[in-house]
């Protein structure tokens, strides 16, 4: 990746983070922590990786994306809006009664959302189904799926993992957002799912470990996943929950709470400072 491309992705991810804070603040509810931890991954996916046309979101040949940790909809909505699937102004209607932007993504209502999610564990099963369908239909689309590490405490995840390897789904690439926190605190204390990579490897997956905030590593991992033949790939992305807002970082208390006006101003100030620096780099 060139320096220009890296600078562009960095700036775009900051704008995604800004939208996350604004959405959750306006809704007075939602999930900032886990949305911020996947901001870089979602930015890379929607601005470099996923082949989909905002003008034709139902194209049967498009790549599929499943946000299995559906509570992090604000990150997905920000990326979709910025890619042109729907107006960016609509983002602040998140969770309002008449809005199509529900707290968890609905494929019936939101252009670009392939599969409705929110019930943890189920999204990866849908992704496996979409990947099997791709093979049966002899289409060359790829299927991407982001899971939480707390989500990996769900038994259904491992049934899906077994199925994906059984059917040699090399068109499937999952990402585990390894931020080490879930709703009630540290995953290791709640119900230790680690080592998640070794578990996927035992089921027959190709496993790649990366820093989930490093665009160089993210890009290389998706390239390697696309080159892998005969088995599915999982990218274990080490991340920081709340990444990019100092007082939210690594705090389980910011899992599902909206910032108040004062906290929002502080968060946006921090992000805007970084945006200013990034804009200078982007020329
Ligand atoms: C089946 C199911 N059980 C419980 C919940 C409630 N819930 C929402 S988020 C969450 C914790 C998820 O932790 P993790 O997957 O690590 O998400 P992240 O840290 O990325 O926010 C729980 C238990 C749910 N959405 N679905
Ligand atoms: Mg987590």
Cα 180 to averaged position of ligand 2 atoms, centre (Å): 5
Q: Is the CB of 63 under 6 A from ligand 1?
A: no
In this prediction, residue 283 carries a pLDDT of 73
In this prediction, residue 139 carries a pLDDT of 98
Q: Is the CB of 134 under 6 A from ligand 1?
A: no
Nearest-ligand number for the alpha carbon of 157:
1
CATH number of the domain at 273, please.
3.40.50.970
In this prediction, residue 104 carries a pLDDT of 98
Q: Is the CB of 180 under 6 A from ligand 1?
A: no
Cα 59 to averaged position of ligand 2 atoms, centre (Å): 32
Cα 187 to averaged position of ligand 2 atoms, centre (Å): 7
Closest residue by Cα to atom 23, ligand 1, is: 183
Q: Is the CB of 35 under 6 A from ligand 1?
A: no
In this prediction, residue 281 carries a pLDDT of 81
Q: 102 and 29 in contact (C-beta within 8 Å)?
A: no
| DSSP-assigned beta bridge partners for residue 174 | 145, 234
Number of structural domains found in the chain: 1
In this prediction, residue 131 carries a pLDDT of 98
Measured distance CA(49)–CA(54) in Å, rounded: 14
Which pair of tokens denotes residue 221? 């991992």
Q: Is the CB of 212 under 6 A from ligand 1?
A: no
In this prediction, residue 24 carries a pLDDT of 98
Q: 191 and 263 in contact (C-beta within 8 Å)?
A: no
In this prediction, residue 269 carries a pLDDT of 98
In this prediction, residue 280 carries a pLDDT of 87
The number of the ligand 1 atom at minimal distance from the alpha carbon of 147 is: 15
Closest residue by Cα to atom 4, ligand 1, is: 120
Look up the domain containing 157 and give its range. Answer: 3-282
Q: Is the CB of 177 under 6 A from ligand 1?
A: yes
Return the closest-CA partner of residue 94 out of 32, 45, 15.
32
Closest residue by Cα to atom 19, ligand 1, is: 182
Which residue positions in the chain have pLDDT lower than 50? none
The number of the ligand 1 atom at minimal distance from the alpha carbon of 33 is: 21
DSSP 32-60: HHHHHHTHHHHHHIIIII----TTSTT-T
Q: Is the CB of 32 under 6 A from ligand 1?
A: no
**DSSP summary character for residue 283:** -
Which pair of tokens denotes residue 215? 């665009």
Q: Phi then psi for 63, rounded to 5 degrees? A: -70, 150
In this prediction, residue 282 carries a pLDDT of 79
Angle, helices 122-136 vs 155-166, to 10°: value is 20
Q: 124 and 117 in contact (C-beta within 8 Å)?
A: no
- What tens digit of pLDDT does each residue of 46-76 get? 999 999 999 999 999 999 999 999 999 999 9
């Amino acid at each position: 990746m060139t320096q220009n491309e890296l600078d562009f992705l960095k700036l775009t991810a900051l704008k995604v983070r800004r939208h996350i804070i604004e959405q959750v603040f306006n809704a007075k509810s939602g999930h900032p922590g886990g949305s911020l931890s996947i901001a870089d991954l979602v930015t890379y996916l929607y601005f470099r990786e996923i082949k989909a046309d905002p003008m034709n979101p139902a194209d049967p040949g498009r790549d599929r994306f499943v946000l299995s940790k559906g509570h992090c909809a604000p990150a997905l909505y920000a990326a979709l809006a910025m890619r042109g699937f729907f107006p960016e102004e609509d983002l602040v209607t998140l969770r309002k009664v008449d809005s199509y932007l529900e707290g968890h993504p609905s494929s019936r209502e939101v252009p670009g959302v392939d599969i409705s999610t929110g019930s943890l564990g189920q999204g990866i099963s849908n992704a496996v189904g979409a990947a099997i369908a791709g093979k049966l239909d002899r289409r060359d689309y790829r299927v991407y799926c982001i899971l939480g590490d707390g989500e990996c405490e769900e038994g259904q995840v491992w049934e899906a993992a077994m199925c994906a390897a059984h059917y040699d789904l090399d068109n499937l690439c999952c990402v585990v957002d390894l931020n080490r926190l879930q709703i009630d605190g540290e995953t290791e204390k709640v119900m230790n799912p680690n080592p998640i990579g070794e578990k996927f490897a035992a089921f027959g997956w190709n496993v790649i470990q990366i820093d989930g905030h490093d665009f160089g590593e993210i890009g290389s991992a998706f390239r390697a996943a696309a080159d892998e033949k005969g088995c599915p790939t999982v990218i274990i992305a080490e991340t920081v929950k709340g990444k990019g807002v100092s007082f939210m970082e690594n705090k389980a208390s910011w899992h599902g709470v909206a910032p108040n006006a004062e906290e929002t101003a502080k968060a946006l100030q921090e992000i805007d400072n970084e945006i200013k620096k990034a804009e200078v780099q982007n020329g």
